[in-house]
């Protein structure tokens, strides 16, 4: 399995330059680049050519641009803005060689019936799929385990992806989101694993379903998520792509960025070493 770092884990104590340096140093294979903050900050003093050159010259590679947010059930004006943002992301992904763009469903206080959510998601994802195909980029839909997210369980997200039925549209399976709204392991066991493009690893404090927030995440293996059940299932079904560590814990943002990146790697490998081995576990000078 390949090891990836999601930049949310150092959201407040690092930047893209540091994340790239430390992740490459500590043997990560991939990085998920935050397009809403860390990439724009990087481009204030660097170019996209600089970023592409870094990936060409170093071990670490881009896994995904994270993320196209709130893509479904939007107004006509908002929908056009989503499409234009996605087109720009496709150019970026092609330039730096990122194979995936993560797409996050709408989070809203508005009540929308599930049929309308599904219809909107399927319609938008079909259009995004058509746009992405010439670029060779895939769309990884990330359901979010909060009551206010329009797509908040694995089975709901999987049903949408199955309805789209395109090779370049699949899922992000985030362990926190899987746990947070009570997604069922049986649904994962019955799913086509080729539709899971990216796995996010994390853990959480033991709060009830529906009350968990991103800030409750802890290092993998130190919380209440049954990571053993999830990763043994993934292994049994043949998943062997990237696992990306992603946390949003405020106290971890107080750590030195390199320490956080090193700890993220160590806890991830320890948490799932019974099921997966990592080709890259050494550090680079």
* DSSP code at position 167: T
Give the CA dihedral 214, 219, 223, 229, nearest 10 degrees: 100
Q: Is residue 189 left, alpha or beta, with left meaning phi > 0 and alpha meaning psi from -120 to 50?
A: alpha
* DSSP code at position 274: T
Which tokens belong to 198? 């990216």
Instruction: Decide: pTM greater than 0.85.
Output: yes
In this predicted structure, what is the pLDDT of residue 279? 77
In this predicted structure, what is the pLDDT of residue 46? 98
Q: What is the DSSP string of 10-51?
A: GTTT--HHHHHHHHHHTT-SEEEEETTTHHHHHTTTS-HHHH
> Kindly report the CA angle at 143 between 89 and 132, in degrees rounded to 5?
30
In this predicted structure, what is the pLDDT of residue 280? 56
In this predicted structure, what is the pLDDT of residue 282? 52
In this predicted structure, what is the pLDDT of residue 285? 41
Angle of helix 114-132 relative to helix 154-164, nearest 10 degrees, comes to 50
Domain boundaries, the chain: 2-273
Which tokens belong to 250? 């405020």
111 burial level (CB within 10 Å; 0-12, 13-18, 19+) = exposed
Which tokens belong to 185? 């392991």
* DSSP code at position 70: -
Minimal CA–CA distance to 140: which of 69, 198, 93, 73?
198
What is the mean pLDDT of each successive set of 10 residues along the chain, which is 285 residues long? Answer: 98 98 98 98 98 98 98 98 98 98 98 98 98 98 98 98 98 98 98 98 97 97 98 98 98 98 98 90 47
Minimal CA–CA distance to 223: which of 181, 256, 257, 176?
176
2-273 domain in CATH 3.40.630.30?
no
Cα–Cα distance measured from residue 39 to residue 235, given in angstroms and rounded to the nearest whole number? 33
Distances (CA, A) of 68 to 34, 52, 142, 182: 10, 21, 10, 25
Q: For residue 67, is the peptide bond before it cis, meaning its omega torsion is within 30 degrees of 0?
A: yes
In this predicted structure, what is the pLDDT of residue 17? 98
């Amino acid at each position: 399995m390949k090891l990836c770092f999601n930049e949310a884990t150092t959201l407040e104590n690092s930047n893209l330059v540091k994340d790239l340096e430390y992740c490459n140093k500590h043997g990560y294979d991939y990085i998920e680049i935050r397009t809403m903050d860390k990439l724009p900050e990087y481009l204030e003093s660097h170019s996209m050519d600089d970023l592409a050159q870094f990936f060409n010259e170093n071990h670490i590679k881009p896994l995904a641009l994270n993320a196209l947010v709130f893509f479904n059930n939007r107004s006509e004006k908002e929908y056009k803005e989503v499409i234009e943002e996605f087109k720009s992301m496709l150019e970026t992904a092609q330039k730096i060689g990122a194979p995936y763009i993560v797409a996050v469903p709408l989070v809203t206080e508005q009540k929308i019936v599930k049929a309308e959510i599904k219809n909107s998601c399927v319609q938008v994802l079909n259009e995004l799929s058509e746009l992405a195909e010439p670029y060779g980029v895939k769309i990884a839909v990330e359901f979010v385990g909060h009551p206010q997210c329009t797509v908040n369980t694995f089975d709901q997200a999987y049903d949408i992806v199955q309805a789209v039925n395109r090779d370049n549209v699949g899922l992000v399976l985030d362990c926190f989101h899987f746990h947070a709204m009570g997604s069922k392991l049986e649904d994962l066991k019955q799913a086509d694993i080729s539709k899971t493009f990216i796995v996010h690893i994390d853990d959480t404090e033991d709060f009830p379903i529906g009350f968990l927030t991103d800030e409750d995440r802890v290092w993998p293996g130190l919380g209440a998520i049954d990571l053993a059940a999830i990763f043994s299932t993934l292994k049994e079904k043949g998943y062997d792509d990237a696992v990306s560590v992603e946390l949003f814990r405020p106290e971890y943002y107080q750590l030195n960025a390199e320490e956080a990146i090193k700890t993220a790697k160590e806890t991830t490998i320890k948490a799932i070493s019974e099921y997966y081995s990592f080709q890259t576990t050494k550090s680079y000078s």
